[in-house]
Structure 1
Amino acid sequence: MALNLHLLRLFASVAQTGSFSRAADDLNVSQPAISRGVRDFELQVGCRLLDRGPRGVRVTREGEALLRYAKSLFAMERAAEEELRSLRELGEGILRIGASTTIATYMIPSYLGSFYKAHPGVEISIVSANTRAIATLLLEHAIDVALVEGPVDEPGIVSEAWLTDEMVLITSPEHAFAREIEPVDTARLNAETFICREPGSGTREIVAEVLRNNGIRPVRSLEIGSTEAIKQLVASGLGVAITSAAAIRDQITLRTLIVVPIHRLRMERTLWRLSVPGRLANPATIAFERLIQI
């Protein structure tokens, strides 16, 4: 049985929007045409793909299975269209990047500047989120390049080492640690309030591992979903934090934050590039990935 790709597109739009009317608006067709097309498609495949109800539609188990293939198929279609538009030395095209917050904010702007100078006709789209969210976007074909702060153990995703990032302990200039001449002993960190990122953040996982491996059990912790907010709270004297050295360069220059060495402890982490084996990359993606490997 050969699937009708037009009807598959109608079904996928309804499944993803959760509404026949929204799908009709997205595809610029009438709602009766959408309803008729999905019904005909269900008859063709021989099973119910959507459960209709007063509050919208719900995708059935069979519909979920088919939707996964539909997303892959239409993503390949978009990639083919983008490649054809990009054949003239990347004169056109789109580059969709997903990056963990620290990477997006502090590490890839210089790469993006170089890429834009070389390929000004390429449209660049950037999504900044935590590691878990970036992995999901990659699986959903919503991004082409995925750069994260921790490896991802997810079926269908390969994690490759990209860069090494130094992690440092930061305090306010008024903190007692800032006046120490010698590196601080790890045992003294137990009495501190640690300000850390939210669950799902690669930075949080790395910091938790460092603390656990060195027997550090802070008496208090505070979760914040932003590296910028963490820096502000540390600078105000609310607590201490372990963060990327790349994220605090400006604050160190201005002396609003202080890096405190820890006795016999050097913290480094690997940053990762995620990919999906077998997925075709468009020319803009290939060019950007070559650039960030230099």
Structure 2
Amino acid sequence: MPLNLHLLRLFTHVAESGSFSAAAERLHISQPAVSKGVREFEAQVGSRLLERGPGGVVPTGAGEMLLRHAAMLFATERAAEEDLAALRGLTKGSLTVGASTTIATYFLPPLLGRFHRAHPHIDLSIRIANTSAIANLLLARELDIALVEGPVEDSAIEARPWRVDELIVIAPPGHRLTYGTHKAAALADEVFIVREPGSGTREVVWAALAEHHVTPRATLEAGNTETIKQIVMAGLGIGIVSRAAAADHLTLGRLVKIDIEGFQVSRTLTRLSLRGRQPSAAAKAFEILLDPPRKQSKR
């Protein structure tokens, strides 16, 4: 028996929100109508899809499997709607961009502004998380565009270089290492303010320190680059962050770049896409902003 897409949608909203009442509010229909629809759907598929848990309604094993298929199905549906909208000049549709923290904060805003000015009727949504979380959101088909700072290894994901980002060592003004140039070994005596596990920046920083045989005497974890800068400015340690992220504070003299002999760190910012997935019309328009056509040289 073919799946009833309306009932599948009801079930998906209940599973994602964790309650029948929240799903009903989302869908602007009554809770009894949602409950009845889910019961009918379970009867159609011949399996129990939801059960009540301590925190609300949770999907069963069969429900989890069905949710994965539903995510792909509704993503395809949305892409079809947006492709049709493209034929009308992108006057309708949505675009969800996912990016890891540094990209979302320092590289993405100008691109989002340009896209909105060109396509004001497209609903924009931004998801900010670390590299591993962005990859998982892409796999769940919750993102149209994905940009990350760290490496991603998954056979279902294609990773393409986007930009090169330089990382620098920062310290508060007056720190002992802000005078002159030092050997990398001098870093071992410092407390390093680092990103959380799963962060692309963290992986690059640890790789760079390992390359120079540096093991910090202590570390302090921070959830984002802004917090790292604030902790460094407070004098609790030093950090390694994107030059783009530190630019304003360097100019204002609130942070100082530490010069370490032979210590040059850069990483490739990466675009992720699902293999075999066709981008929506809105995604195609945004990709043009990510990689604008190069001007041909005059002969």
Taking structure 2 as the reference length, what is the TM-score of the superposition?
Answer: 0.90
Q: Does the 8 A contact of 1:158 with 1:275 survive in 2?
A: yes
* Counterpart mapping for 1:1-294 below 5 A: 1-52=1-52, 56-154=56-154, 156-180=156-180, 183-294=181-292
Report the CA distance shift for 1:83/1:43 in structure 2 as closer, same or farther (over 3 A). Answer: same
Q: Does the 8 A contact of 2:232 with 2:238 survive in 1?
A: yes
Letter in 1 for 2:242: S
Instruction: Extract structure 1 runs of 4+ deviating beyond 6 A.
Output: none
Q: Does the 8 A contact of 2:98 with 2:134 survive in 1?
A: yes
Taking structure 1 as the reference length, what is the TM-score of the superposition?
Answer: 0.92
The Cα shift of 1:29 comes to: 2.9
Letter in 2 for 1:150: G
For structure 1, list consecutive stretches of 5 or more residues without a partner in the other structure: none
> What secondary structure, in the 3-state scheme, does the structure 2 residue paired with 1:166 have?
strand
For structure 2, list consecutive stretches of 5 or more residues without a partner in the other structure: 293-299
Report the CA distance shift for 1:36/1:102 in structure 2 as closer, same or farther (over 3 A). Answer: same
Report the CA distance shift for 1:5/1:268 in structure 2 as closer, same or farther (over 3 A). Answer: same
Report the CA distance shift for 1:54/1:161 in structure 2 as closer, same or farther (over 3 A). Answer: closer
Report the CA distance shift for 1:115/1:39 in structure 2 as closer, same or farther (over 3 A). Answer: closer
The Cα shift of 1:137 comes to: 2.2
Q: Does the 8 A contact of 1:174 with 1:237 survive in 2?
A: no
Report the CA distance shift for 1:36/1:117 in structure 2 as closer, same or farther (over 3 A). Answer: closer
Taking the aligned partners of 1:195 and 1:53, their CA distance within structure 2 comes to 39
Report the CA distance shift for 1:186/1:277 in structure 2 as closer, same or farther (over 3 A). Answer: same
> What secondary structure, in the 3-state scheme, does the structure 2 residue paired with 1:160 have?
strand
Report the CA distance shift for 1:256/1:139 in structure 2 as closer, same or farther (over 3 A). Answer: same
Per-residue Cα deviation, 1:187-211 (whole angstroms, up to 9, x for no partner): 1111001111112211111111111
The Cα shift of 1:53 comes to: 5.7
